[in-house]
């Protein structure tokens, strides 16, 4: 049993396509049909773009067909302003690319959704980002004189989490989409990675939206073009790993059979082991670094800066003075 | 010019019907047709119920026809648990009464909306209340075994404010109502009073919803049966007064003509005076006590406790164990 | 290698004496000299009192000599007000007992210290408690008329964490103690348990203060009678477990040798394994439930209520009205 | 009665020396002996430096002798990153100047104190700034290898407010100073201005520390060289005006006598008027804009950036990688 099978057996979602791809290639020792991967190298970051072309590739990776871009920037942990600005710039370039591919024009209305729970630090990335960029949709009605021609209506929503609202997040967003008619959603979410090294250092963009079971808060219903009626770009950053990852790491380093990657034991045994260890809190247990508050603070700034650069090109060019809300 | 005319001239909304009624009766020295007022006295509180029966009364008070119940409990400022519990109990009784009048049954689904901005303390009452009561709507699907028969689906939403979302709050709520089909909305909001003494001491309930221009965050579009398609009960507590109130208090105590309540000067002069004094920040200036954080903390508990008592009668009776979210 | 040895080898501190004692007794299969344990059973809780009499017991348990009281109340996870009130009452009784044993009189000044980081939810218990009880020290100077005779001066401090302040927490507290001369410190802290089941369900009180390396934020210097010059009662509640606990649970269930408790392998091998798995973030990785925000919210109320009952007996008896700050 | 006399009579502290000076010069129509004022003009800001040389000047202005530098940048309200960076740079230049005048060397230890209440938005500037710059004091002991030679130990403290701690803020800080031995304190505080236009647009630096009665939270005991034993630089930004300011503005615009600045009425009458109007909450009433959360968020960034530029010149030059806390 390799890591990939292990995560499948124990129901741990691999939020990052780059992890799914790497694991699968490691397991199969060959290229996956219907999947293509490109790499770019930048001073502070490596960018990997994975295209899943068809259902064969989708089934193999457990991901919807589409584009998955991962910016890997370990230097983000240093909280160094020049690094943060460079990564924000790369993120903005890739966001712009995805919007162009989706034929979203520079003045088309965009809804940014900050998923997660602002009261639980590891899951607060989405709501925190909402404070870090400029919304303009209301100005078209209340202060049109402050907007240069060609400005884009940008709106934002922090829908909360199922446990606090009692409502599926997808239902809340779809309701707001129906009323406000944006052309595209950009959803920001804290992810769970399969590797501790990715916490706070990887940023994934995808044009496929958010899948059920992904994110720290674990969406139940997808937030994607099917459920929303418009395209959904998701920007996700791992802030935790699932506790089962630690179990795997331990097994992998101590069980000959797992290391040999042909472990033939009963998957139910693995499942039972995990359920027994992670019984409290229904297994909803995440591993997170102590300095999670600094991490979220810095990452929210990076994503907010990228959103401003991407969505407000006209405003930034004309140096228009947007008033406070 | 009396206080009532003054507020009209300078565009200050009287959020509390009890204030509008008192001022109007003071000004006219007689009963207002189409308006009836009843008073009850309780150990820690006086409760005033104002019924506006027809359009004549509505026009006179500048309020929609309906029922306005105000609980006045100056002892709330003392942060005394027995007082808080007594007021929560009274609030629950009156909420129950309004729900019964609206023919909302004990198992009918309810959406509680916490209006306001969780990041600005004086406007954070609504979002803070959302953490203080139990939501159950999701449990009907994900954990029905935890719910005794006859339980009520309760959901909650903190829609944010126009300046942060770029979207009219009414639009967000209506979108969610359309998707989730509650039978009634209970909207919690921080209000602006016309009298400093009411901050943190008066609680208004009404079956008429939220009017444009009311609340600390100043709704632009009404949240009521007309805009939502279902009845809206609003629970509001003053946490600020508009800065214009201080101007009036000063004029009233120093201008003979205003004190005599027949001041005949030009309303435009008054309007100009206020615009000049309150020019910065577009006049969006509120007066608030320094200890606003304690105030909001205590009031959120009172409203949350009242909501639990009102909405979860079956749960409370059976002492069912609701899991954390 | 049993769990106890494992934690020693990998440097995981057992914050709870009840765990250290249970593990040690399990390992040695006999009573520990110099240690006495008593149990009481209450409707919603079991209370275990461990007395460590001498250095032999102290060395065996890795704990300072003194009294360790643990209230175990699994029902706390249900967020049920009657349970919360019952536990607060038990906590107050035990706090009162410890104060009496330390010869602290009912009017002696007390400093409550809320350890931890209010910006990182799992570590925010201490600072959140500070908002949940009444301070009175300043009223002796500024509003003595509000205090009945025999009132106690209570003050509070949230010193922050080393990473935010750059100062040892013990240094900050000692500085404040020197200036304000309380007779005793009550320090509130979020702990790391050795067992996931203890998160949010166990409350430990001790008259020995806080040891280096304990708590979520990992104090470097002790906060106890030696370093503070006055007795220190610590109230701690586990809100996380260290990630190494998951490693142990996995090994214990899969390695025959560990289960047989006579595993003879090299401790350095275990140490190396853990360092390899938990390399990112310097190993400062904690496991925490997703609903940590609700957990902390409810626990802060319980501890705050217990502090009010314990410290303000005179105020509560006379129903004096303490003004807001 | 002019504005200056009015504020004296009603006990409103003029936190900004620039306001005190302007008012006094307006009142006296001449230069104030012992006071010198210089102005510099920058693209986004005007900087006024007031030197109070002797006790005559001090008595006239109601300010301690010393240097008061005010950066006036109305463009700060626009939340425009280039403006924010320019103002941060000016603030850093002036902070550097004050430190040099005090003979504080580039490696001398500095304690930054964030005054105010993080739970009440208008008073949360100080605590919010603490998250926006880098502390290094602890690294000298725990990670000296991360620090280039010549680095400065910087520590930080959020002491809380009297109503929450029951302890004079000055006592807490002095206790920490005695234990940690910094060479200088930089204290950040939200101020109350005498003019609504100054909210969020003026930044005052002074080498005289914080006076009793100033700031939103109203310090009771001074935080200055006398009470702390080391020099105290205060950085203050108005986030509110006292409610009495609105009363004055109203009187000034409507009372012939006040406008003529020779109003001869009884100061007790003015005092009585204010006490009557501002009776609730003991007169502790402040006027604040609705968008106070955005304001504080942006200002905290500006001050934090200036502190990093000022205090960490060596770190910035060597591009050392400071780890997260």
Asked, for residue A322, whether it belongs to a domain, the answer is no
B160·A162 Cβ contact <8 A: no
Minimal Cα–Cα distance from D170 to chain C, Å? 10
User: Which stretches in chain C have pLDDT values below 70?
Assistant: 1, 256-265, 318-325
Could you tell me if residue D325 is inside a domain?
Answer: no
Range B281-298 burial, b when 16+ CB lie within 10 A, else e: bebbbbbbbbbbbbbbbb
- Domain holding A75, by residue range, is 3-317
Residue A323 lies in a domain: no
Give the model confidence (pLDDT) of B171-229 as tens digits. Answer: 999 999 999 999 999 999 999 998 999 999 999 999 999 987 777 777 789 999 999 99
pLDDT, residue D98, reads: 98
* Record: contact B285-D286, CB cut-off 8 A: no
Per-residue burial over B68-101, b = 16 or more CB atoms within 10 Å of its CB, e = otherwise = bbbbbbebbbbbbeebbebbbbbbbbbbbbbbee
Q: How buried is residue D173: exposed, middle or buried, by Cβ count under 10 Å (0-12/13-18/19+)?
A: buried
Give domain status of residue D324, yes or no.
no
Mind listing the pLDDT tens digit of every residue in chain D (325 residues)?
677 778 878 778 788 999 988 888 887 778 889 999 999 999 999 999 999 999 999 998 889 999 999 999 999 998 888 899 999 999 999 999 999 999 999 999 999 999 999 999 999 999 999 999 999 999 998 889 888 888 999 999 999 999 999 999 999 999 999 999 999 999 999 999 989 999 999 999 999 999 877 777 777 899 999 999 999 999 999 999 999 999 888 888 877 655 544 455 677 878 888 888 998 988 889 999 988 999 999 999 999 999 999 999 887 776 555 544 4
Are D211 and D258 in contact by the 8 Å Cβ rule? The answer is: no
Answer yes or no: is pLDDT of B256 > 70. no
B170 has pLDDT over 50: yes
Q: Rounded mean pLDDT of B137-161?
A: 93
B-chain residues near D160 (CB < 8 A): none
The pLDDT score that the predictor gives to residue A261 is: 42
Q: Which residues of C touch B79 (CB under 8 A)?
A: 134, 322, 324
Average pLDDT over chain B reads 89
Spatial contact of B10 and B244, defined as CB atoms under 8 Å apart: yes
Q: Are D61 and D24 in contact (CB under 8 A)?
A: yes
CA distances in angstroms from D290 to A131, B76, B121, D7, listed in the order given: 15, 25, 10, 25
The verdict on ipTM greater than 0.90 is yes
* B–D CB contacts, 8 A cutoff, strictly below: 122
pLDDT band at B265 (very low <50, low <70, confident <90, very high): low
Asked if C294 and A163 come within 8 Å (Cβ–Cβ), the reply is yes
Asked whether residue D200 is assigned to any structural domain, the reply reads yes
Is the pLDDT score of B260 beyond 50?
no
The domain that holds B235 is classified in CATH as: 3.40.50.1450
Distance in Å, alpha carbon of D291 to nearest chain A alpha carbon: 6
- Contact residues on chain A for B167, CB-CB shorter than 8 A: 137-138, 155-157, 176, 179-180
**Within-domain flag for C32:** yes
CA dist A168 and A219 (Å) reads: 8
SS (H, E, C) chain B: CCHHHHHHHHCCCCCCHHHHHHHHHHHHCCCCCCEEEEEEEECCEEEEEEEECCHHHHHHHCCCCEEEEEEECHHHHHCCHHHHHHHHHHHHHHHHHHHHHCCCCCCCCEEEEECCCCCCHHHCHHHHHHCCCCCCCCHHHHCHHHCCCCCCCEEEECCCCHHHHCCCHHHHHHHHHHHHCCCEEEEEEEEEECCHHHCCCEEEEECCCECCCCCCCCCCCCECHHHHCCCEEEEEEEEEEEHHHHHHHHHHHHCHHHHCCCCCCCHHHHHHHHHHHCCHHHHCEEEEECCHHHHHHHHHHHHHHHHHHHHCHHHHHHCCCCCCC
- Residue B325's pLDDT is 41
The residues of chain A scoring below 50 in pLDDT are 259-262, 323-325
Nearest to A78 among D79, D295, D322 (CB): D322
- Of the CA atoms within 13 Å of residue B169, those in its CB half-sphere come to 31
What pLDDT is recorded for position C282?
Answer: 84
What tens digit of pLDDT does each residue of B196-205 get?
999 999 999 9
How does strand C184-193 pair with strand C232-242? Answer: parallel
DSSP secondary structure of C31-74: PPTTEEEEEEEETTEEEEEEEE-SHHHHHHHTS-SEEEEEEE-G
Residue A323: exposed, middle, or buried by beta-carbon count in 10 A (0-12, 13-18, 19+)? middle
> What pLDDT was estimated at residue D258?
57
Nearby residues of A105 by Cβ (< 8 Å), 6 or more positions away: none
Q: Which two tokens stand for residue D250?
A: 């109203």
* D77 contact residues in A (CB cutoff 8 A): 323-324
Q: Are B321 and C78 a contacting pair at CB < 8 A?
A: yes
Q: Percent of chain B having pLDDT more than 90?
A: 63
Nearest-CB residue to B78 (from C78, C131, C322): C322
Of D253, D288, D297, the CB nearest to B288: D288
Q: Is residue A42 part of a domain?
A: yes
| Chain A residues in contact with chain D using a Cβ-Cβ cutoff of 8 Å | 75, 77-80, 131, 134, 291, 294-295, 297, 319, 321-325
CA B272/CA D96 separation, integer angstroms: 45
DSSP conformation class of A223: B
Number of domains in chain B: 1
pLDDT single digits (tens) A219-269: 789 999 999 999 999 999 999 999 999 988 888 887 765 544 445 567 788
- Closest partner CB to A246 (pick from C197, C253, C277): C277
Examine residue C261 and state whether it is found in any structural domain, yes or no.
Answer: yes
Full DSSP string of D58-102 = HHHHTS-SEEEEEEE-GGGGG--HHHHHHHHHHHHHHHHHHHHHT
Query: Using a CB-CB distance cutoff of 8 angstroms, which residues of chain C are in contact with residue B304?
Result: none
């Amino acid at each position: 049993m390799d890591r990939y099978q292990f995560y499948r057996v124990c129901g741990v979602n691999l939020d990052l396509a780059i992890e799914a791809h790497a694991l699968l290639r490691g397991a199969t020792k060959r290229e996956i049909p219907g999947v293509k991967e490109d790499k770019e190298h930048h001073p502070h970051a490596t960018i990997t773009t994975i295209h899943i072309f068809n259902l064969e590739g989708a089934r193999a990776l457990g991901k919807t067909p589409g584009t998955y871009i991962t910016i890997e920037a370990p230097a983000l942990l240093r909280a160094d302003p020049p690094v943060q600005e460079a990564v924000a710039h790369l993120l903005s370039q890739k966001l712009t690319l995805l919007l162009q591919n989706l034929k979203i024009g520079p003045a088309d209305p965009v809804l940014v959704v900050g998923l997660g729970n602002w009261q639980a630090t590891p899951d607060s990335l989405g709501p925190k980002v909402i404070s870090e960029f400029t919304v303009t949709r209301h100005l078209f009605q209340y202060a049109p004189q402050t907007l240069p021609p060609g400005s884009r209506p940008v709106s934002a929503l922090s829908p909360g989490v199922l446990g606090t609202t009692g409502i599926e997040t997808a239902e809340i967003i779809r309701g707001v989409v129906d009323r406000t008619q944006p052309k595209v959603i950009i959803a920001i979410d804290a992810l769970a990675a399969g590797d501790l090294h990715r916490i706070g250092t990887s940023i994934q963009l995808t044009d496929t939206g958010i899948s059920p079971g992904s994110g720290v808060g674990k969406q139940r219903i997808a937030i994607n073009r099917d459920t929303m009626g418009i395209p959904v770009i998701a920007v996700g950053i791992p802030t935790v790993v699932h506790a089962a990852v630690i179990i795997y790491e331990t097994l992998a380093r101590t069980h000959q059979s797992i290391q040999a990657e042909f472990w033939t034991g009963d998957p139910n045994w693995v499942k039972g082991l995990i359920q027994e260890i992670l019984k409290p809190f229904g297994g909803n247990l995440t591993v997170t670094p102590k300095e999670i508050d600094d991490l979220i603070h810095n990452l929210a700034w990076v994503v907010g800066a990228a959103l401003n650069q991407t969505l407000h090109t006209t405003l930034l060019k004309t140096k228009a003075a947007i008033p406070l809300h």
